[in-house]
Amino acid sequence: MRVLACGVRTYERAALERHFQDRHPLHCVTWVPDGDTVGLAAGYEAVCTSPAARLDAALLGRLAAGGTRLITQRASGYTNIDLDAARELGLWVARVSSYSPHSVAEFAWTLVHALNRHVHRSYQRTREFDFRLDGLLGRDLHGRAVGVVGTGRIGTVFARIAQGYRMRLYGWDREENPECRALGMTYLPLEDLLGRAEIVSLHVPLTPETRHLIDASRLACLPDGAILVNTGRGGLIDTTALVSSLRAGRLGGVGLDVYEEEERYFFRDLSDEVVTDDVLARLMTFPNVVVTSHQAFFTAEATATILATQAANVDDYLAGRATENTLVRGRDA
Catalytic residues: 233, 262
Q: Is 90 helix (H, G, I), strand (E, B) or coil?
A: coil
Through-space distance between the first and last CA atoms of the chain, rounded to whole angstroms: 13
Measured from the Cβ of residue 250, the count of other Cβ atoms closer than 10 Å reads: 15
Please list, in sequence order, all residues whose beta carbon lies within 8 angstroms of the beta carbon of residue 183, skipping any fewer than 6 positions away. 156, 159, 160, 163, 169
Helices assigned H by DSSP within the chain: 10-20, 57-65, 83-89, 101-116, 119-127, 153-164, 178-182, 190-196, 216-219, 239-247, 278-283, 300-318
C-alpha–C-alpha distance, residues 69 and 60, integer Å: 10
CA distances from 327 to 73, 229, 276, 317 (A): 10, 28, 35, 12
Q: Which amino acid is at 60?
A: L
